[in-house]
Amino acid sequence: MYGVSKSYLPGSWALKDVSLEVGRGEFVFLTGPSGAGKTTLLKLLFAAERPDTGQILVLGRNIARLGGGAVPALRRRVGVVFQDFKLLTRRTVEENVGVTLDVVGTPSREARSRVFNTLRQVGLHDRRNDLPVALSGGEQQRIAVARALVGEPDVLLADEPTGNLDAELSIEIIELMMAAADRGTTVIVATHDRSLLERYGRRVLRLEGGHIAETAGDSGA
């Protein structure tokens, strides 16, 4: 990302002249106060928004120049955990997690095995036949994490993935994401949780007022 700016209202910048580089297999925390631009930055990386200025390269593709048909192909390689989960209310837990594999045509037997194993990793394999409405907020959050991880994406973007979880579950979820980074997935996690930043010696990017105010921690994977 080089010289990226994004505005939603005249004279008000969600991001202003932001440049950063995250390597393959790197795990990065993104932090800062509410309204600092964290969610906007993640949306730009997912091609849910386009920058007003600057260049964004994700998996070698320039987001600003992607045609409409190229966006779905890129998104199939990017896992996302949204703040509002975006679960399909009329689909079971198993179906919600498996939707990513359905899109890329994963054979049914393999898909079911991968969904079950991923649900077991987040401690919800026994709820796989339930609808999201039957789950607590924390359980729904873990389903969203499982959905993002099951496709073994090249890039994983997570917006407050532990916001509704207790300390023990938060650590488990972050360590699942770190394991994905160890396997080569590039991971960016937006969080307000300072205890997670302090627990892990990973690189931290701090956003303030649409600018990167500081970086800290290990710059490697």
Backbone angles phi, psi at 25, to 5 degrees: 75, 10
* Nearest one of 138, 179, 178 to 160, comparing CA atoms: 138
Claim to verify: residue 36 and residue 46 sit in the same structural domain:
yes
Q: Quick one: pLDDT at residue 219?
A: 52
Q: Quick one: pLDDT at residue 66?
A: 84
Claim to verify: residue 35 and residue 68 sit in the same structural domain:
yes
The answer to the question of residue 15 being in a domain is no
155 touches 77 (CB < 8 A): yes
Q: Report the C-alpha gap between 161 and 32 in whole angstroms.
A: 15
Claim to verify: residue 117 and residue 167 sit in the same structural domain:
no
- Angle between helices 93-103 and 137-150 in degrees, nearest 10: 20
The answer to the question of residue 171 being in a domain is yes
Residue 84 has pLDDT above 90, yes or no: no
DSSP run (H or E) holding 80: strand 78-81
Q: Show which of 152, 180, 203 is a domain's final residue.
A: 152
Q: Show which of 126, 152, 178 is a domain's final residue.
A: 152
Q: Report the C-alpha gap between 39 and 27 in whole angstroms.
A: 17
Three-class secondary structure of residue 187 per DSSP: strand
Q: Show which of 152, 179, 200 is a domain's final residue.
A: 152
- Mean pLDDT, residues 138-142: 92
Claim to verify: residue 73 and residue 165 sit in the same structural domain:
yes
The answer to the question of residue 11 being in a domain is no
Q: Which has more pLDDT, 148 or 201?
A: 148
Query: In which domain, by residue range, is 142 found?
Result: 87-152
pLDDT tier for residue 221 given thresholds of 50, 70 and 90: very low
CB atoms within 10 A of CB 129: 10
- Mean pLDDT, residues 60-74: 86
Claim to verify: residue 111 and residue 97 sit in the same structural domain:
yes
Claim to verify: residue 92 and residue 113 sit in the same structural domain:
yes
Claim to verify: residue 122 and residue 219 sit in the same structural domain:
no
Claim to verify: residue 2 and residue 69 sit in the same structural domain:
yes
pLDDT tier for residue 218 given thresholds of 50, 70 and 90: low
104 touches 92 (CB < 8 A): no
* Nearest one of 220, 173, 212, 167 to 193, comparing CA atoms: 167
**CATH number, domain at 62?**
3.40.50.300
93 touches 129 (CB < 8 A): yes
Residue 40 has pLDDT above 60, yes or no: yes
